[in-house]
A and B are shown apart, each in its own frame.
Chain A
Amino acid sequence: MTFISPWLAVAGAAAMALPILIHLFLRRRQKPIEWAAMELLRRAVQQSQRARRVERWILLVLRCLALLLVGLAIARPATVTAISMNQPVVLAVVLDDSVASRVAASSTTPGQTAFEAARAACIESIRALPSGSMVHVFTTSGSIEHTSEAVLPDRAVALLGALEPTHEPSRVRQAVDRADDALRRMTMPGRIVLASSFSRGAIDTEAQVLPATKATLEIRDVGSDDTGTAAIVSMVQRTLGPQSTGSITVDVAVTRPSHEQLRRSIPVTVTDVLTDRSATADAIFIEGSQRAVATVTLAVDPALTEHAWMATIPSDRQPADDLRAATISTVSADPVLVVDRERLDIDEGSSAQWIERALEPVAGMGLAHRRMDPSDVRPGSLKGSSSIIICRPELLDGAAWTECAAACESGALVVVVPPTDETFVEWQVPCAALLGPGVTIRRDHVNHDPPRRLQPQQPTSPITQLIASELTELVAPIEVSRSVVIEGPSTTVSPILLMDDGTPMMVLATKGRGVVVMFATAPVPSWSTLATKPIFVPLVQETIRQGEVLLDAGGSVIIGLGRLPEGTTELRPIRGSTSQDVSLTIDPAGVIVGDEAKPGIMQAITTQNMSAGSSRTESLVALNVDPAACDPQRNDPARLAAWINQTLTTPSSAATATNTTQSSTSASVWLLVAAALVILTETLLGRTFSVPEPKAT
């Protein structure tokens, strides 16, 4: 017999000493009691003490026995019968090939992923089998299984060698279930080898408990506590479009957990998914900080109109190709569209002029833009534009507003700046409708005397996230002399910047797949000092960049179980499920036909019927990757140990040449029953032995 948790058995045995120590301790602590009727006492003691002493010893032994039995039960004894090394067995290997297995296995074997280590462990177990043994191969992703019949070891090794890690979540429980079922059908003694990194993505020790298996379960933990857990949190393109420079520069922000102090820098690779060009730069952590930014410059082909960047960090720092952590950014070739009409009668410059100046490339940073007259905003005119800045909303007619709303719905960023001229046109109503239901914009603007300032503590907004650390300093000098009042439910509009009276100076709303940003004041000196302050350039550029990141439109990436771009008819695997050479078919409703959605980064083929004929666009989507399934962090060691103890039937060290013939669970149950019987007996005997309380004579 052996124990799954031998130390618990030792603890149970040690616990036996507890009642004895208590007994001795209590004996020593009693102070002597003076008594007069000593002779009577002596006679009484002589009469009863001998019998009582025997009874007490019996009770003490029973108590010790109960503790011992409970300890043994917790230790989960397994009656193992040693079988001959030459006796053939059936081995069911369960290999973790889930997306979580892409983490690094150990710091001692650089470059080796958990999947490779797990596979090596499985092969090692197979090679150790006596001749005549058979092998079943199972994977946690379910990508391969042989339930009908076992294969010879060599064939199993070949099968394992051909396997690659998948992007599927880990389904350990089902895999072990299948393995156990397969072994139940075999006449030969069998055992299961489960090899995994046991990261949180591989198994959730809190939620998953393996079923009790008939066969011996051997755990091969190939994970490492040293596995990096850094993650990419954002990727922002800094330079102008590739058309002008032939290269792009992106800032990739990386976080790491506070406990990871060993790595000071993490290499970040940015890849153009479509051309496979890539460049690498280091994200260097300042001591004590958990966030670092890597600035990567990547040469691109200016001829291409669409690009998709994917940032990755090495597999020993995060799951390789982990779609959760990787951020994919697509860049539209279209410049920012500034809707404005030229005015020559003003000295202070128009809102559009100030905004265009803020978009100009300075020191390699900037955004391409082009001007469009409000009268040119007609149905279809905004198609292809991902960012539209409306500086003269009073000049837009109903059809133009409809087109703006349509663009927004299909995934565009629309920025609205209030008109600086007095006007009788009620632009506020369609503009409020663009922002969302329940939103109102007051007809008349409000003059502030003295001018209003902005709150030092501004709300958290995705638009200002990159300048958040300097925001208090940046907003301090802004003075607002005139503003429009935007009101609406917080569920529809969220403030980006707030004035000191709590009214918004800038709001954000999502509409369909697009985003609407509205300024409550105009960036002209008669309205505010916004345009002349240092915040203006980063604020305008961040509004465009971060706003585009927020877009959920064609050309962007849907992380996880997201929606497909409208009109998607086909998905072609680019990364992830690269072994699949079949394309997925999408029905008109956007639902993947036939098979369940496969995970990975796909190229979405969208066919649209245009007036001039059908057009075909391509975009990227990432499908069906459960973020939890990719979690590379190790389970808490104590919790993992407890889980393994709870799960195992035999210790891995003893499992290579043994086979259990009796379930440890049932042994534990019997031990617990025995302990309960002992406790019951002790209680009954204790009552029988104890002297009833006499009445005072």
Chain B
Amino acid sequence: MATPGLRAEQYLSPETLAQLAPFELRAKMIADGVMNGMHQSPLQGMAVEFAAHRQYTAGDSIRHLDWKVFGRSDKLYVKEYRQETNLDVMILVDGSASMSFGTLGVKQGWGGTDATRRRGAWTKFDHATASAAALAFLCLSQRDRVGVAVGADGLRGVVRKSATRDQWRSIVRCLSSEPVEARFAPAACINQLLAQTSHRTLFVILSDFLGDPEGLRSALARLRHRGHDAMLLAMLDHRELTLDLDVEAPFVGLEGEDALDVDTRTIRKAYLDELQRHLQLIDRQARAFGYDSQVFDTHESVGPVLAALLSRREGMVGGGRR
């Protein structure tokens, strides 16, 4: 929990998070920061949204009768909610090798995932797991059912959706123990998850989305086809976003791509144009299916971005866009 007198954002900076060795603590800190960031709508659950009143008809459960309205008007009205049951949330974290990229240095002894320890830096995977854990914590605190999956070329670790007490611990264990390797195949992962999903679910996909956009589009199409909701959280390192390097050197891919001789000074503009185009494409694909997307800079605090995203989403839901 946030220490009184300190702004939550201070705790939510990647440098701070990286120093928080217990994974749970890190997630709680983010969640707390997110709460503080959403002053006007605390505990606005994603599952208990009031939709409208309608007249009572025979067969309706009297549990949802609005007795206040009956007291005032002598008429029976039933309160209708957007979802009858708790929201199911499935968080899919990209565990591919490209997620092990990071340029924000961390010190030895600080907490983190397998990727952090291997690369000695705050990686995209770290940022994704921190964000995922925070989201899961938020959902569980609202009694929503939440599950987590780490996937690359296929699902690697899955924690089924649940709202039980032990769920949080299972999620944290899964996020902190999975290795970071191979390439991300979103369609395959989504397929596997869909096979285990029966209820309408909000899929939160945390990835750098640097793979084939077509694969992502295919995965999103399947989700849409099944009537699920989705949020795409693109985790990108600050250096990936700016290419603030002045070197002429061979660049090697983390997922086994061939080395490429690059003079960053000469291609910076083209690279940034390409990146912009790519991100716009991802965003367009998400919006095409009615989904939301957000880019996370791994050098920036998780909380404010997450809070802004949730706030925006609430606005979208409240505005009846769905």
Instruction: List chain A positions with a Cβ less than 8 A from chain B.
Output: 26-27, 30-45, 47-49, 52, 56, 689-694, 696-697
- Docked-complex contact A40 and B274, CB < 8 angstroms: yes
Contact partner of A41 (CB less than 8 A), chosen from B99, B251, B266, B269, is B251
* Given A44-B274, A697-B276: A33 in contact with B250 (beta carbons within 8 A): yes
Closest B residue to A49 by CB, please name it.
B267
- Docked-complex contact A27 and B248, CB < 8 angstroms: yes
- Docked-complex contact B250 and A32, CB < 8 angstroms: yes
B254 → A minimal CB distance (Å):
5
Which residues of chain B have C-beta atoms less than 8 A from A56's C-beta?
266
- Docked-complex contact B260 and A45, CB < 8 angstroms: yes
- Docked-complex contact B101 and A49, CB < 8 angstroms: no
- Docked-complex contact B253 and A36, CB < 8 angstroms: yes
A691 → B minimal CB distance (Å):
5
* Given A40-B271, A40-B275, A696-B241: A33 in contact with B247 (beta carbons within 8 A): yes
- Docked-complex contact A45 and B238, CB < 8 angstroms: no
- Docked-complex contact B247 and A38, CB < 8 angstroms: no
A39–B184 Cα gap in the complex (Å)?
14
* Given A34-B252, A35-B252, A40-B210: A696 in contact with B267 (beta carbons within 8 A): no
B101 → A minimal CB distance (Å):
4
A100 → B minimal CB distance (Å):
60
- Docked-complex contact A45 and B210, CB < 8 angstroms: no
Residue-wise, chain B 244-287 has the 8 Å CB interface mask toward A (1 for contact) of: 11011111111101011011011111111111101000000000
B52 → A minimal CB distance (Å):
42
Q: List 13 A-B contacts (CB under 8 A).
A: A30-B250, A36-B98, A36-B124, A41-B260, A41-B267, A44-B274, A47-B267, A48-B267, A689-B266, A691-B266, A691-B269, A694-B242, A697-B276
Contact partner of A43 (CB less than 8 A), chosen from B237, B255, B257, B274, is B274
A29 → B minimal CB distance (Å):
9
Which residues of chain B have C-beta atoms less than 8 A from A48's C-beta?
266-267, 269-270
Closest B residue to A690 by CB, please name it.
B265
- Docked-complex contact A36 and B241, CB < 8 angstroms: no
B103 → A minimal CB distance (Å):
10
- Docked-complex contact B252 and A33, CB < 8 angstroms: yes
Closest B residue to A39 by CB, please name it.
B210
- Docked-complex contact A696 and B252, CB < 8 angstroms: no
Contact partner of B257 (CB less than 8 A), chosen from A38, A49, A52, is A38
Which residues of chain B have C-beta atoms less than 8 A from A49's C-beta?
262-263, 266-267
Which residues of chain B have C-beta atoms less than 8 A from A47's C-beta?
267, 270, 274
Determine whether B208 belongs to the interface, using a CB cutoff of 8 Å to chain A.
yes
A31–B257 Cα gap in the complex (Å)?
17
- Docked-complex contact B101 and A34, CB < 8 angstroms: yes
- Docked-complex contact A44 and B252, CB < 8 angstroms: no
A31–B237 Cα gap in the complex (Å)?
21
Which residues of chain B have C-beta atoms less than 8 A from A42's C-beta?
257, 260
Closest A residue to B299 by CB, please name it.
A696
Q: A32-B250, A691-B266 are in contact. List 15 more A-B contacts (CB 8 A).
A: A30-B250, A32-B251, A34-B101, A35-B101, A36-B101, A38-B255, A40-B271, A41-B251, A42-B257, A44-B274, A45-B262, A52-B263, A689-B266, A696-B238, A697-B241
- Docked-complex contact B249 and A696, CB < 8 angstroms: no
Closest B residue to A692 by CB, please name it.
B269
A488–B243 Cα gap in the complex (Å)?
84
- Docked-complex contact B251 and A44, CB < 8 angstroms: no
Determine whether B178 belongs to the interface, using a CB cutoff of 8 Å to chain A.
no
B303 → A minimal CB distance (Å):
20
* Given A36-B208, A36-B210, A697-B241: A44 in contact with B257 (beta carbons within 8 A): no
A49–B208 Cα gap in the complex (Å)?
25
A49–B238 Cα gap in the complex (Å)?
23
Contact partner of B251 (CB less than 8 A), chosen from A33, A689, A690, A696, is A33
Closest B residue to A46 by CB, please name it.
B270
B93 → A minimal CB distance (Å):
15
Which residues of chain B have C-beta atoms less than 8 A from A34's C-beta?
101, 251-254
Which residues of chain A have C-beta atoms less than 8 A from B243's C-beta?
694
B283 → A minimal CB distance (Å):
14
- Docked-complex contact A697 and B242, CB < 8 angstroms: yes
Interface centre among A37, A38, A691, by most chain B C-beta atoms within 10 angstroms, is A37
- Docked-complex contact A37 and B275, CB < 8 angstroms: yes
- Docked-complex contact B250 and A38, CB < 8 angstroms: no
Q: Which of B76-105 contact A (CB under 8 A)?
A: 98-99, 101
Closest B residue to A40 by CB, please name it.
B274
Determine whether B181 belongs to the interface, using a CB cutoff of 8 Å to chain A.
no
A301–B41 Cα gap in the complex (Å)?
135
**For the complex of A and B, 4 pairs with smallest distance between CB atoms:** A30-B249, A36-B101, A38-B253, A44-B271
A690–B270 Cα gap in the complex (Å)?
12
Contact partner of B253 (CB less than 8 A), chosen from A35, A52, A691, A696, is A35
Which residues of chain B have C-beta atoms less than 8 A from A33's C-beta?
245, 247, 249-252
B158 → A minimal CB distance (Å):
24
B165 → A minimal CB distance (Å):
37
Which residues of chain B have C-beta atoms less than 8 A from A45's C-beta?
260, 262, 267, 270
A407–B85 Cα gap in the complex (Å)?
139
Closest A residue to B265 by CB, please name it.
A691
- Docked-complex contact A691 and B268, CB < 8 angstroms: yes
A683 → B minimal CB distance (Å):
16
A37–B254 Cα gap in the complex (Å)?
9
- Docked-complex contact A36 and B254, CB < 8 angstroms: yes
A44–B257 Cα gap in the complex (Å)?
15
A13 → B minimal CB distance (Å):
27
- Docked-complex contact A31 and B260, CB < 8 angstroms: no
Q: Which of B191-245 contact A (CB under 8 A)?
A: 208, 210, 236-238, 240-245
- Docked-complex contact B124 and A694, CB < 8 angstroms: no
Contact partner of B249 (CB less than 8 A), chosen from A32, A36, A44, A692, is A32
A44–B269 Cα gap in the complex (Å)?
8
A26–B260 Cα gap in the complex (Å)?
16
A697–B275 Cα gap in the complex (Å)?
10
* Given A31-B249, A35-B251, A37-B210: A44 in contact with B267 (beta carbons within 8 A): yes
Closest A residue to B246 by CB, please name it.
A693
Contact partner of A694 (CB less than 8 A), chosen from B101, B236, B237, B268, is B268
B12 → A minimal CB distance (Å):
20
Which residues of chain B have C-beta atoms less than 8 A from A43's C-beta?
270, 274
Which residues of chain B have C-beta atoms less than 8 A from A694's C-beta?
242-243, 268-269, 272
